[in-house]
Structure 1
Amino acid sequence: MIIALALLAPPAVFAEAKLPDPAAFANAMERGDLERAAAWLDAGLPPDFLGSRIGSGLMIGAWEGKIELMRLFISRGADINQANANGETALTLAAWRGNLEAARWLVERGARINVPARQWSPLHYAVLAGQTPVVDYLIAEGANINALSTNGSSVLMLAVYEGRQALAQKLIDLGADRTPRNDWGDGALEWAMRNNNLAIARILAEPEQFKAALNEPREKWGTPTGSLAMSEELQALLAMRGTLQERRMTTVAIDRRIAAERARIIRARLDQQAPTAHATTLEITASRQPGQAQSIRLVPAPANRKVVPGTKAKAAAGKGQGGR
């Protein structure tokens, strides 16, 4: 009887019944392989199983913007607010990638917008990556605009750190607190002045405070922090972008991946517990206007650069579950 059933059943059923290791799971889910996911779940795979990258099937669906994949894992009992090893939930990852529809789908099904004190929130990630539509949505749904990250950096501070003037102005107009300082004593104004973002500094400070800041010697503000540490992932993405530009092909998708990797590197830097010296960094100047030039150069990081410590160490840049 068993032999007869085996002959009648499609070979794929038995092939899929073997549960995956974390790497195989991540590869299949990132491809959006719904049939394989369903077969693994039918065979006993826990719905909150974590892959080797990003996280659970629900998290991968949010990261990739694959709502049907998210729907499948939720229907099998996945925890919508589960966090990966970096404290990132599905909503945080959707916000990071700018996947507005995925973010909306998650919130409508109970995903938490706000997090406990001193944790990275979805709004932190959306602002850090410059995902304005997601920022607007999260705020409209009640996101705390004064949330502090693990190292005490406010949402406004992250907008300033990345030189995102429009987002900084939006947050200020909504009443964001301009006074928080992180664990190193830095605030939004210090970051604006350090990176010579005077337009942002002007909207952060009262006129007399701004005037006084301008009169301070440049050395007071420290070394600019806008340049990013290079990672293999970012280097590969930039090379791919260059190829697409040469072929006059759209760079929209690759730009989203670059933004996500830039945000990951910044979070890794801010979460470090000790400064790292003499790292190679990437300095990017770009315009969103069509036809405008983009300049990219590698520069050595100063040995005395100050790095904000977090409350716990994270995986090294480009490695661990936070690596993309």
Structure 2
Amino acid sequence: MKNFNFPKKIVVFIAFIFSTSLGTAGSYDDFFKAVKFDDLRVVQRLLQRGFDPNTVNPDGVPALMLAVRESSLKVAELLAAHPQTMAEVRNDKDESALMLAALKGHLNLVQKLVENDADVNKTGWTPLHYAASGGHVPVIDYLLENSAYIDAESPNGTTPLMMAAMYGSPESVKTLIQAGADPTLKNQLGLSALDFAVRGQRPNAIELMHAGLARWAARTK
């Protein structure tokens, strides 16, 4: 067998590249393990070393989205506030990290995402739809304070009030009505928020919708 004698500088360079690749692979695995298990210390250390917060896992899921999905709140808030993080990430259902945080009622995370330019009024289903579905009044209030469109329409014309009436809490229905949501709107199926409340068998929401409709009628005379 022929014996190759590489110059020492080349050997050192190859060893450097090989060790760097191994180190990067280790960091990648450590990062996503820490994201999944909400290990703030490890994620902080890796970010300080220059690890990209927008890295995706083997399934193509960005770290921020994974942290929100796994309810790794400490890591999610760290990533959401990081200046290099692209806050407006979406999954394959066109749901943003802000939408998922709103659905779960994670107000601090919602605030950090909005402060880092997550889209409050994305086209189609919006964070306000999701906050209303979860019945989370503090998140609803915060989104409205940050210019969320109260009567935003989903692709089929469904509004946040409709979602609150069927899935949310009575408090979320009341909050949206008092904030000026239009109770007379109907979606493409011809259903109003009252219809949603009836279909969802939500007595409190039905009562609130009747009261809201009466006030709306009196106001628009």
- TM-score calculated relative to the size of structure 1: 0.50
Partner secondary structure for residue 185 of structure 1: coil
Shift of 1:178: 0.7
Q: Which 4+ stretches in 1 moved above 4 angstroms?
A: 1-9, 23-28, 35-42, 206-209
Instruction: Please give the alpha-carbon distance, in whole angstroms, between the structure 2 residues aligned to 1:179 and 1:31.
Output: 45
Unaligned runs of 5+ residues in structure 2 are 1-8, 215-221
* Matched residue type, 2:122: V
Q: 1:37 to 1:108 in 2, by over 3 A?
A: same
Q: Paired residue for 1:70?
A: 80
Shift of 1:106: 1.8
Instruction: Please give the alpha-carbon distance, in whole angstroms, between the structure 2 residues aligned to 1:93 and 1:142.
Output: 18
Q: 1:144 to 1:208 in 2, by over 3 A?
A: closer
Deviations 1:116-169 (A, max 9, x none): 2xx111111112122222122111222111111223211011111125211101
Instruction: Please give the alpha-carbon distance, in whole angstroms, between the structure 1 residues aligned to 2:45 and 2:58.
Output: 14
Matched, 1:143 2:148: yes
* Aligned match for 1:56, one of 54, 57, 62: 62
Q: 1:8 to 1:49 in 2, by over 3 A?
A: closer
Superposed CA RMSD in Å reads: 3.8
Q: Paired residue for 1:103?
A: 110
Unaligned runs of 5+ residues in structure 1 are 210-324
Instruction: Please give the alpha-carbon distance, in whole angstroms, between the structure 1 residues aligned to 2:196 and 2:30.
Output: 42
Q: Paired residue for 1:202?
A: 207
CA contact (8 A) 2:133 2:163 kept: yes
More strand by percentage: 1
Matched, 1:180 2:155: no
* Aligned match for 1:132, one of 111, 133, 137: 137
Deviations 1:282-323 (A, max 9, x none): xxxxxxxxxxxxxxxxxxxxxxxxxxxxxxxxxxxxxxxxxx
Shift of 1:197: 2.6
CA contact (8 A) 1:62 1:103 kept: no
Q: Paired residue for 2:43?
A: 34
Between the aligned residues of both structures, percent identity stands at: 28
Shift of 1:19: 8.8
Instruction: Please give the alpha-carbon distance, in whole angstroms, between the structure 2 residues aligned to 1:86 and 1:40.
Output: 33
* Aligned match for 1:154, one of 155, 159, 168: 159
Larger radius of gyration: 2
Q: Paired residue for 2:120?
A: 113
Shift of 1:4: 5.4
How many aligned residue pairs are there?
A: 198
Q: 1:14 to 1:40 in 2, by over 3 A?
A: farther
* Matched residue type, 1:31: F
Shift of 1:99: 1.9
**RCO higher in structure (CA 8 A, sep ≥6):** 1
Deviations 1:1-21 (A, max 9, x none): 465578899x6x543423999
Deviations 1:241-292 (A, max 9, x none): xxxxxxxxxxxxxxxxxxxxxxxxxxxxxxxxxxxxxxxxxxxxxxxxxxxx
Deviations 1:198-219 (A, max 9, x none): 332222126998xxxxxxxxxx
